[in-house]
Amino acid sequence: MDIHQSSSYRSGRFRIHLVFGGAFVGLASGLISVLYRYTLGKLDTVRNLMYSQVSLGKGALMLAGFLLLAFLMHLLLNWAPLSGGSGIPQIRGELLGRADMETTPTLISKFFGGAMGAFTGLTLGREGPSIQLGGALAKMMSDRIKATEMERRYLITAGASAGLAAAFNAPLAGALFALEELHKSFSHFFVVPCIVASVLANFVSFSILGMEPAFSFPMHEMLPVSYFWVPVSIGVLGGVLGSLFNKGLLLFSQNMKKLPVPRYLIIFIAMVLVFVVGLYSPLLLGGGHSLIERLATKPAAPTALVVYFAIRLLLVWTGYGSGAQGGIFLPVLTLGALLGAFCHSIMMGGDAFYANFLYLGMAAILSSVVQAPLLSILLVSEMSGTMMQMISVTTTAVVAYLVAQALRNAPIYESLYDNMFTKDDPIIDSGFTMQYFFVPGDADYVDIPLERLTIPHHPLIASVKREDISFTPNKDTILKEGDELLLLTKEQYLEDLSHFFGDVE
């Protein structure tokens, strides 16, 4: 067997391992994500009953219980420091060698800490935690089967994509999330395992919870082309409000932890705020799924929608800023639905295209907050159960993205990652690892000999694959669009190399 045949054989065997690994990871991650989603749904019901008749004595008892839960969440966070917040920056840090999650503590803290926060009404979502649960479980499985470092990274990515797929019943968006947000690369080495894991996780979700989209209200009618000003207007507003959301979230995240009180009291402060709001309207609490469903069947007045938006905005900022276990994905979509309902009330009125406006609002704010328009388009399309609104949804998402760019609004998960893993933090160093990088067509190092490139940390380029032919490069090798590079480097250099090779914006 010559060197090309040997390389091709190893590459094929590697792909097979990833496909079967992605299948097992998808089933396991789907199960834990569905269990988490089911648990939070039941806790939402219990919480609404708890708020239905609140007397003075019952209110005092509830606050005492919240204080106890805040303390337990604090203990879990001490046990698993990387389990706070959404979990998406932590998975990114794990893939880049800047974090090393202890899987068992992280799984327990994320699941039960997130459940406790949901029970009290913290306006945090299930999707970020589902992503981290899926990624942590994939890491645990990788360790058990003694996967290589390279296989482990791809399986963690697949587990994370499966978590989102199960949380939203959106398998394509789950796979795209892994590509657009975690790796920011479209190498087929992890496209296939991510798709396999996401589809199987969605299969688990459909089997247990039923074959329904994430939301029960579809878009029955297409928005006419003559209404092009509607998605443009919503996109502009979504871009501005999404930028405001990001700035506020970062401000609260950075400053609440500086308060001169223990962390459990900071979490308790956020719980007190949701308690006060819950006395007014329990529907405004939690991730927001019930609020979106209520908006779809019972539109509110414009003034009420503005008040709801402001309240939810403050609660998300304080809830996430407290460091509690919970994400922002669903709360962001809820803000988008409120924006869509408001725009419909002042632009249209009546019932015409009302559901369209709700979904357009979701796509607008999500695109502005996450700075991933393609993910926003696909996720909203899968959640609504139709691809027929692609023109209007795409217009809204792209306009919101452009507005956010004009306002210099950084992607929220990139900002949270930077805050969590600063350059001054110690980097996990567990030796050398092999990593694939994909050469994009617009890279500034294309068509330049390797000897003229200043690649950070001087990694060993073990092989270059071009059109199904693998070869060992030399100093005169010129990289081309579509090349797949296999690098040998230290884990702490992965982030810098990802920036250089164009995987990170």
State the CATH number of the domain containing residue 342. 1.10.3080.10
Q: What burial letters (b/e) apply to 49-61, b meaning 16+ CB within 10 Å?
A: ebbeeeeeeeeee
State the CATH number of the domain containing residue 486. 3.30.70.1450
Residue 283: DSSP 8-state: G
What pLDDT, in 10s, does the model give residues 125-162?
888 899 999 999 999 998 888 777 777 888 898 899 99
Cβ distance 492 to 427 under 8 Å?
yes
Residue 484 and residue 457 share a domain: yes
Q: Which residue, 174, 209, 244, sits at the end of a domain?
A: 209
Q: What percent of the chain has pLDDT over 90?
A: 45
Q: Does 309 fall in a domain?
A: yes
Band (333; pLDDT cuts 50, 70, 90)? very high
**Rg of the chain over all Cα atoms, to the nearest angstrom:** 23
Residue 292 and residue 169 share a domain: no
Q: Does 176 fall in a domain?
A: yes
Residue 12 above 60 pLDDT? no
Residue 444 and residue 348 share a domain: no
Residue 369 and residue 244 share a domain: yes
Of 354, 140, 152, 336, the residue nearest 234 (C-alpha):
336
Top pLDDT among 88 and 384 is at: 88
Cβ distance 364 to 339 under 8 Å?
yes
Question: Which residues contact residue 383 at a Cβ distance below 8 angstroms, ignoring those fewer than 6 apart?
Answer: 168, 169, 170, 213, 214, 215, 359, 362
Question: Which residues contact residue 149 at a Cβ distance below 8 angstroms, ignoring those fewer than 6 apart?
Answer: 433, 434, 491
Band (7; pLDDT cuts 50, 70, 90)? very low
For 153, the enclosing helix (H) or strand (E) is: helix 149-168
Q: Does 288 fall in a domain?
A: yes
Check residue 399 and give its pLDDT: 97
Check residue 252 and give its pLDDT: 95
Band (491; pLDDT cuts 50, 70, 90)? low
Check residue 189 and give its pLDDT: 65
Q: Which residue, 175, 209, 243, sits at the end of a domain?
A: 209
Q: Does 2 fall in a domain?
A: no
Check residue 365 and give its pLDDT: 96
Check residue 186 and give its pLDDT: 60
Report how many domains make up the chain: 3
The two three-digit tokens of residue 305, written as one number: 């929608």
Q: Does 4 fall in a domain?
A: no
Dist. CA 223–CA 220, nearest whole Å = 10
Residue 171 and residue 256 share a domain: no
Dist. CA 166–CA 197, nearest whole Å = 10
Q: Does 5 fall in a domain?
A: no
Residue 337 and residue 280 share a domain: yes
Residue 436 and residue 414 share a domain: no
Q: Does 100 fall in a domain?
A: yes
Residue 156 and residue 23 share a domain: yes
Q: What burial letters (b/e) apply to 114-139, b meaning 16+ CB within 10 Å?
A: bbbbbbbbbbbbbbbbbbbbbbbbbb
Residue 189 and residue 96 share a domain: yes
Of 339, 399, 371, 362, the residue nearest 219 (C-alpha):
362
Residue 8 above 60 pLDDT? no
Dist. CA 340–CA 400, nearest whole Å = 13
Give the domain range for residue 246. 225-419
pTM of the entire structure?
0.85
What pLDDT, in 10s, does the model give residues 173-220?
888 887 777 766 566 666 788 889 999 999 998 888 887 777 777 777
Check residue 11 and give its pLDDT: 53
Residue 369 and residue 236 share a domain: yes
The two three-digit tokens of residue 410, written as one number: 């950084």
What is the spatial order of strands in the sheet that 432-438 belongs to? Answer: 432-438, 484-490, 460-466, 469-471
- What is the DSSP annotation of 453-487? ---TT--EEEEEEETTEEE---TT-B--TT-EEEE
Residue 238 and residue 195 share a domain: no
Q: Does 101 fall in a domain?
A: yes
The two three-digit tokens of residue 67, written as one number: 């204080």
Residue 499 above 50 pLDDT? yes
Residue 327 and residue 289 share a domain: yes
Averaged pLDDT of the chain = 86
What pLDDT, in 10s, does the model give residues 423-437?
555 545 555 666 777
Check residue 226 and give its pLDDT: 83
For residue 478, list its beta bridge partners. Answer: 449
For 272, the enclosing helix (H) or strand (E) is: helix 263-280
Q: How many CB atoms lie within 10 A of CB 423?
A: 7
Of 429, 311, 287, 324, the residue nearest 74 (C-alpha):
324
Which range (354-363, 458-467, 470-479) has the least confidence?
458-467
Which runs of consecutive H residues, i.e. helices, occur in 286-444? 289-297, 302-321, 329-347, 354-370, 373-384, 390-406, 412-420
Of 126, 120, 115, 125, the residue nearest 272 (C-alpha):
120
Q: Which residue, 178, 209, 240, sits at the end of a domain?
A: 209
